[in-house]
Amino acid sequence: MTPHIAAQPGQIAPTVLMPGDPLRAEWAAQTFLDNPECVNRVRGMLGYTGTYKGHPVTIHGSGMGMPSLSIYANELITQYGAKTLIRIGSCGAMQESVGIRDVILAMTASSLSTPSRGIFKELNFAPCADYGLLRAAADVAAGRGVTHHVGGIYSSDVFYDERPDLTEQMTRHGILGVEMEAAELYNLAARHGVRALAVLTVSDHLITHEALPASERERSFGDMVEIALEAAFS
């Protein structure tokens, strides 16, 4: 047990999917895993462990933002031995070529700052995904006919952004979408020698101002979860 995860030894799988929303973790576990068991409820952050095609998998919420994800990812890696961590979540598109419901596979994750900034000090470390996971996820998405994009994303410190100038520059430099967690996940994976990837569903668009209706989110998010699960064991 840790201060934030009540799972017993052996109850966390080596492969962990991490949605931000704990209720999405519950939905994904009950929808895609066989025999899911709730292994954590501390502070309402739900975690479930079951199997996918015979492989043990944990789906555990991370909360919103990099500081929250850093707590859970650190504990999952250092205390429970997680070796593969895949963020599954929503994002906002920042390119006209990226559509609502598309999947973004984050090759890199830019940020203004992360919880790791104190370690890196003056270094602008470039956090990136595990190439094997990234390649596998792209192959899975292509094989399933899911419209997907591979490239850089932006991990923001804030949800209500007031920097249109920064958004303009990121769009100019090809950033595909914005979310709030992946950069620190990639930092931690590099530090501890584990695999990480962010598989993201576009739920809204910063340029066109489109948004995915709530009634259609579950079906669209299902593609993302299946891509992550298949890539983990490819």
Q: Which residues are catalytic?
A: 204
Which residues, at least 6 apart from 10, have a Cβ–Cβ distance to it below 8 Å? none
| CA 229 to chain CA mean position, Å | 12
Q: What is the DSSP letter of 135?
A: H
- 60 known ligand binder: no
12 annotated binding-site participant: no
Q: Is 88 assigned a ligand-binding role in the annotation? A: yes
Residue 220 in marked binding region: no
Q: Is 184 known as a binding-site position?
A: no
Query: Are the CB atoms for 67 and 156 separated by under 8 Å?
Result: no
Residue 68 assigned ligand-binding role: no
117 assigned to a ligand binding site? no
C-alpha pair distances (Å), 117 with each of 66, 113, 120: 12, 6, 5
> Annotation-wise, does 107 bind a ligand?
no
| Length of the chain (residues) | 234
172 is in an annotated binding site: no
**CA–CA dist 120, 106 (Å, integer):** 22
In the beta sheet, which residues pair with residue 59? Answer: 17, 48
Contact indicator for 85, 185 with CB cutoff of 8 Å: yes
**Which residues belong to the annotated binding site for phosphate?**
20, 24, 43, 87-90
**Which residues belong to the annotated binding site?**
4, 20, 24, 43, 87-90, 179-181, 203-204
**Which residues belong to the annotated binding site for a purine D-ribonucleoside?**
4, 179-181, 203-204
